[in-house]
Amino acid sequence: MRVVRALSAAVLTLTVAAGPAAADASPSPSQDETSAPTQAGTSFRTATEIEQGQRATASGSTGDYLYWSFPADTGQRPTVEATVKLPETHASQTWQIDVWDGLRRRQACQYGAQTRTAEADTSSVKLTCVLRTVRAWSEPWGNDPLPGTYYVRLTATGVATADLGLPVDTGIRVDSKDIGGSAAVDGSLAEPLVPGIASKAEEEQEDAAVLAGLEPEDGWTSGWWSDRWVWTAIGGILAALAGVGGYALTRGTGRPSRVPPGA
């Protein structure tokens, strides 16, 4: 029974170790609103960088293209929310958010109202795009979300000519849910898909130009660790416990099956 006790203690230790990993999946506190960006870019190259958990704002005109960028790491499922405050008087308008990864591949929304129509004189419109879970690695021909920089574009796709140029106020926020080991895959990228990061690595200079400078708070994980390792170890120990317990139940009382004559 000492073996059973030892294996039970090991399971308890691994379960406690898995606790902090699960706690890390909780949403991080919001960034200081005073440090959030108050403008948006007009193209991929000028996209305004925002941290996850920040609410960025920007003023613009109906018909403008507004761009932001944010970092997303392995195991995260980002949710992009955008709000547009419209002028008091306007005709019907259709607004849309689109998301691209670091290779500028358009990423489909898993669910959410990516496109919405604001009827005449509606005060605001809210858009949501929940992306698929970011994977550590993918086939070259795949279109799976990969760790790196993501770009968000907000624009009006259906606007009456009379409404072009009307002022609007926009707000955008990106949050992520950590999916954990259920989304883990074998393999990882050599570098996250951050425009300019490869050039910086080759030059090995601190002042090398990088088109996107933000990264997750704890750095890029590159998919080397997930809680799948913990639960795999726990499963192996439970299997060993089952084997030891089964042997203890079936080995009998210890008396020989055949008793010698005269015993």
**Terminal alpha carbon distance of the chain:** 31
Per-residue model confidence (pLDDT) at position 247: 75
CA 110-82-176 angle, to 5 degrees, is 50
Q: What is the pLDDT of residue 234?
A: 72
Q: What pLDDT is recorded for position 195?
A: 83
Element containing residue 232 per DSSP (H, E):
helix 228-250
User: What is the pLDDT at residue 227?
Assistant: 59
pLDDT for residue 3 = 43
Are residues 151 and 40 in contact, defined by beta-carbon separation less than 8 angstroms? Answer: no
Q: Is 248 left (phi over 0), alpha (psi -120 to 50) or beta?
A: alpha
Task: Provide the residue-wise pLDDT of the chain in tens; the chain has 263 residues.
Answer: 444 444 444 444 444 444 444 334 344 444 455 588 999 999 999 999 999 999 999 999 999 999 999 999 988 999 999 999 999 999 999 999 999 998 899 999 999 999 999 999 899 999 999 999 998 887 878 888 999 999 999 999 888 899 999 999 999 999 999 886 655 666 677 788 888 654 444 444 444 444 566 777 777 774 455 555 565 667 778 888 888 777 778 876 555 556 556 65
The predicted model scores a pTM of 0.70
Structural domain boundaries in the chain: 27-223
Tell which residue, 140, 128, 143, 221, has the closest CA to residue 178: 221
Q: 170 φ, ψ to 5°?
A: -120, 155
CA separation for the pair 235, 18 (Å, rounded): 13
Identity at 218, one-letter amino acid code = D
CA dihedral 101, 103, 108, 110 (to 10 degrees): -40
d(CA 142, CA 108): 13
Fold adopted by 27-223: Jelly Rolls (2.60.120)
pLDDT of residue 261: 62
